[in-house]
Structure 1
Amino acid sequence: MSHENEENKVRYRRTQSVTRAEEITKKESKQRRSQPDKPCHQPRDSLFSWSSGFNNFTGLVNWGFLLLTMGGFRLVLENFIKYGIRVDPVQWFVVLTGRNEGEGHPSLLLIFYSIVPILICLIVEKGLAADILMESAGMIVHVINIVVLVLIPMVVIHVKGQTFSLVGAMTVCFIYCILFLKMWSYVQVNLWCRTRYKHRRSRSGRRQSISIAQLQNEREHEQERTSNGNGTIPNKEKDAVPKLVHYPDNLHLKDFFYFLLAPTLCYELNFPRTSRIRKRFLIKRILEVVIGVHIVMGLFQQWMIPSVRNSLVPFSNMDLTKTAERLLKLAIPNHLMWLCFFYLTFHSFLNLMGELLHFSDRNFYSDWWNANNIDTFWRSWNMPVHKWCVRHLYIPVVELGYSKISASVIVFFISAFFHEYLVSVPLKTFKIWAFMGMMAQIPLSTVSKFMEVNYGHRWGNIVVWTSIILGQPLAIMMYYHDYMITNYSDVVA
């Protein structure tokens, strides 16, 4: 509210300094209209002036969209004229199915091996719940198990990298990252539940010495309290209030694997569930996934690959003018692909999984496109990761006594590590461009907030969009250059 008041004051001062329209009284206006010269002028500001109050620019918005459409269509024609039709669904099938991998399909073997750390995690949790393992020993096993989970793809792909396809290596790294985050959440939530469970058990004292007859009487009284007067529990009430799962009854494979497949990174003992599967909704999401994959692959094959290849020589020669031209040309297909990938992943695929698993929390994204600063963007565009960071990293770090700024830096550091992990490990080029790009979000956040506070929400939003549109293609050009220098230096020379 204070920010809006300041803006209104600024606009009022501008109006006073530009025109005397407000100084002309209604009485003077009436006197002018009564004159025989038939006056046609009245105090009005130009439409583009802040003081005019005019805000209907629908025609200009339509003009902008039409201009962008025509420019995009021209780029499409230029691409087809220059490179021909490069879209080949057969190559998509070869790449996505891993037929160009070495013997034994190492990517599939690593994916199947991920069951081992999952089982180790569940066995340790059962041992801790039954007091077979000491708390400290169990936590040490958990830490080693989760850390080794992340290190396995790094070591195996580095040693046997020539047998992995790029898509296979990226899939393995992505799955192992998801497992790392989910297992962290699973261990931490069970630790919270176990601590409360043992605390309650210690307070109850020697309640285990109660006789069987007393337990039966307590159960009968419990049934009488929930009965409908006839000694029976009504079926409607049973259906309306589902029975909650309590610790340690959740420690079994069915519950754990449901969480691993559910479209969330944060574990709960009782997830919100839907009562049925909506068939029309499910069919729509399936069609979107199938069509979306083809659109993304087609854009990548027809538009992205030629643009990235053409950027290699100017980038290697440090020709700033041509590099800037290549960057801007690459930004358009890259951004279009990113938008398609966002919709395909966060709306189509995650809703598809949620519908199949009766998972009713579908808050996978917020209105990130309206973000006025970088912080708001990172809090809204990927809600599963944001919830995990807040619940399992930010709040625990703050509760340990660290400041909120330190906790935010730690969150960005962990995020930067996994961004680098997902790029460098499959490419086998251990650089730090993605890491530096994520850490650069901290000072960029300060810039976007400065623009938002001093120049308005619109300029803060422009900074956000600029970082998205230009940051990603710049990182792609860097990694492609380093990958070609590392593996095909003779070609580049």
Structure 2
Amino acid sequence: MATLARRRGKETEQPIVVALAAPMADSDDAPPAPAVHRRPPRPARGAAAAQGFAAALRRRLSSGAAAAARASFAADSGDESGPGEPSSSRRRDNGGDASSAGGGQGGAGDFPAFTFRAAAPVHRKAKESPLSSDAIFKQSHAGLFNLCIVVLVAVNSRLIIENLMKYGLLIRSGFWFNATSLRDWPLLMCCLSLPVLPLGAFAVEKLAFNNLITDASATCFHILLTTSEIVYPVLVILKCDSAVLSGFVLMFIACIVWLKLVSFAHTNHDIRKLITSGKKVDNELTTSDIDNLQAPTLGSLTYFMLAPTLCYQPGYPRTPYVRKGWLVRQVILYLIFTGLQGFIIEQYINPIVVNSQHPLKGGLLNAVETVLKLSLPNVYLWLCMFYCLFHLWLNILAETLRFGDREFYKDWWNAKTIDEYWRKWNMPVHKWMVRHIYFPCMRNGISKEVAAFIAFFVSAVLHELCVAVPCHILKFWAFLGIMLQIPLIILTSYLKNKFNDTMVGNMIFWFFFCIYGQPMCVLLYYHDVMNRTEKTK
């Protein structure tokens, strides 16, 4: 076989791939194995000598051993075999056990290392560096991701040890309840009396469905009830010198009840409109939806006020049963993460804000340093709050009430623009805004930009009420923080369309929400509360 290959090589002087790595042991006529160190051909004279040397070099480079070495080198360097190179299994079949030719010391690809000749080229095609701009996103970065995790764990471990060495364990045994909480009993009584207003809304709808009052009168009564739902807790909090946390909980519950009452009144008004008109106002309503359009009952109102949703409808998708074991696990996780939030506040956030200066009155570098120092525990607190509220607590309510639709959030952490974040972060509020503000505005001839502005305005007012009223100050920091989302939406949408890059918008979102925005609001409200307390004393 080797003799035939040499004869054909002399006739055509074309490279023929033949495996010469090892002779066949069972062949009597096979020539002896070629020597490891071969004497190069004696150079001839003149042009014929140069042509003879080139032909000999081509024949040797086209031998099976050289082809196997090239394939082995290509496999080591990550290249795929070219169309003219046989697979490794075929080379082994043609050449026998390649590793035996090297005395048991095989190189990469099971071929002896000495078969790769020095004359064989190692640079065969143009390649990009793995971190070049054209190839960086084609590489796997799992190792760098693991490095980031290791660095993150190391840095945070150092910060935890440094904090414990500097302050000790600051969390108090009375964090959950202390004697000063007893002065907040008026807020508790106010919270327990809030269900009276939904009962009033139910009575108004009963009168309206029975045609005892007009739609205009029903609308006036609902406006009075929803306004009382907000004004009543505000007056109680401002009248009592309550703790900030107690006031925040009461205002948070009051805003939720206000949103539910608005949805209850608006939905039933639309149901009455559908019933009296006798036709489908919305083409998306199916036959089952029309059959479900009925007057509210006390049971449907009670279920709606307890369910983890802000949008009223007579019936909801339900699960067949309650998973008791799963529910117990969620309750345990909720208690653990609630305690973790208290630990982060007491151990990390409080010492930073107490030892800080007002960000608008101190030096610029000092303010930047404080904001960056506060950003890390603030991110952890915010993520724990999200997990506790939107995942654990809402799922606990849903499982207890067998509430079926549990899309309380989407993948907001992958948001490419601020607009996408607000559409994925809080699905109950987003659905309420779309259903009761955005689409009604557009149906009345308002442009979508103005409708979005109105939705953000309502959200900003509710955020300001939840923060400013418990703090007993009116600085509009929360209101401005929400309204400034509009230019950020424009900016991130422009960057996404301009550079066709999803990473830029996501980085801007994380920076303004977690690194700059929330720590700045915490510092502003804390120092304003401290200034008000000092003036009161």
TM over 0.5: yes
Does residue 232 of structure 2 align to residue 152 of structure 1? yes
Task: Determine helix, strand or coil for the equivalent of 2:138.
Answer: coil
- For 1:310 and 1:244, the matched residues in 2 are separated by 62
- For 1:419 and 1:152, the matched residues in 2 are separated by 17
Does residue 205 of structure 2 align to residue 125 of structure 1? yes
Number of residue-to-residue matches in the alignment? 413
Counting only pairs closer than 5 Å after superposition, residues 270-349 of structure 1 correspond to structure 2 as 270-311=315-356, 313=357, 315=359, 317-349=361-393
Aligned position for 1:19? none
Greater displacement, 432-441 / 141-150: 141-150
Counting only pairs closer than 5 Å after superposition, residues 41-190 of structure 1 correspond to structure 2 as 41-42=123-124, 43-52=126-135, 54-94=138-178, 99-101=179-181, 103=183, 105-158=185-238, 160-162=239-241, 164-190=242-268
Between structure 1 and structure 2, the one with the greater Rg is 2
Contact 1:412 1:439 in 2 (8 A): yes
Contact 2:359 2:520 in 1 (8 A): no
Which structure carries more helix by proportion?
1
In the superposition, relative to structure 1, how do residues 283 and 487 fare at CA in structure 2: closer, same or farther (>3 Å)?
Answer: same
For residues 136-190 of structure 1, give each alpha carbon's deviation from its aligned partner in whole angstroms, at most 9, with x where no partner exists. Answer: 11111111111121112222222x231x222221111011100110010011111
Aligned position for 2:79? none
In percent, how many aligned pairs have the same letter?
34
Task: Determine helix, strand or coil for the equivalent of 2:174.
Answer: helix
- C-alpha deviation, 1:434, in angstroms: 0.6
For residues 458-487 of structure 1, give each alpha carbon's deviation from its aligned partner in whole angstroms, at most 9, with x where no partner exists. Answer: 111111111111210101111111111122
In the superposition, relative to structure 1, how do residues 35 and 91 fare at CA in structure 2: closer, same or farther (>3 Å)?
Answer: closer
In the superposition, relative to structure 1, how do residues 35 and 81 fare at CA in structure 2: closer, same or farther (>3 Å)?
Answer: closer
Give 2:528's match in structure 1, choosing from 475, 479, 482: 482
In the superposition, relative to structure 1, how do residues 178 and 104 fare at CA in structure 2: closer, same or farther (>3 Å)?
Answer: closer
- C-alpha deviation, 1:284, in angstroms: 1.7
Contact 1:314 1:322 in 2 (8 A): no
Greater displacement, 42-51 / 456-465: 42-51
Greater displacement, 443-452 / 183-192: 443-452
Greater displacement, 405-414 / 39-48: 39-48
TM-score for both structures, normalised by structure 1: 0.80
Give 1:37's match in structure 2, choosing from 87, 96, 119: 119
Greater displacement, 298-307 / 84-93: 84-93
- For 1:128 and 1:36, the matched residues in 2 are separated by 96
In the superposition, relative to structure 1, how do residues 257 and 91 fare at CA in structure 2: closer, same or farther (>3 Å)?
Answer: same
Aligned position for 1:473? 519
Aligned position for 2:435? 391
- C-alpha deviation, 1:357, in angstroms: 0.2
- C-alpha deviation, 1:104, in angstroms: 7.4
For residues 287-322 of structure 1, give each alpha carbon's deviation from its aligned partner in whole angstroms, at most 9, with x where no partner exists. Answer: 1111111111111111111111122x2636421111
Task: Determine helix, strand or coil for the equivalent of 2:180.
Answer: coil
Task: Determine helix, strand or coil for the equivalent of 1:93.
Answer: coil
Letter in 1 for 2:350: I
- For 2:469 and 2:536, the matched residues in 1 are separated by 23
- For 2:248 and 2:365, the matched residues in 1 are separated by 33
- For 2:168 and 2:360, the matched residues in 1 are separated by 26
- For 2:493 and 2:175, the matched residues in 1 are separated by 45
- C-alpha deviation, 1:246, in angstroms: 4.5
- For 2:276 and 2:127, the matched residues in 1 are separated by 75
In the superposition, relative to structure 1, how do residues 35 and 298 fare at CA in structure 2: closer, same or farther (>3 Å)?
Answer: closer
Contact 2:187 2:237 in 1 (8 A): no
Aligned position for 2:57? none
Greater displacement, 355-364 / 116-125: 116-125
- C-alpha deviation, 1:245, in angstroms: 5.1
Letter in 2 for 1:178: I
Does residue 403 of structure 2 align to residue 371 of structure 1? no
Task: Determine helix, strand or coil for the equivalent of 1:91.
Answer: coil
- C-alpha deviation, 1:36, in angstroms: 6.9
- For 2:118 and 2:183, the matched residues in 1 are separated by 98
Contact 2:358 2:527 in 1 (8 A): no
Give 2:313's match in structure 1, choosing from 268, 276, 279: 268
Letter in 1 for 2:127: R
- For 2:293 and 2:199, the matched residues in 1 are separated by 21
Does residue 237 of structure 2 align to residue 193 of structure 1? no
For residues 182-225 of structure 1, give each alpha carbon's deviation from its aligned partner in whole angstroms, at most 9, with x where no partner exists. Answer: 01001111111111222339xxxxxxxxxxxxxxxxxxxxxxxx
Letter in 1 for 2:121: P
- For 2:212 and 2:336, the matched residues in 1 are separated by 51
- For 1:383 and 1:457, the matched residues in 2 are separated by 22
- C-alpha deviation, 1:252, in angstroms: 2.7
- For 1:490 and 1:275, the matched residues in 2 are separated by 56
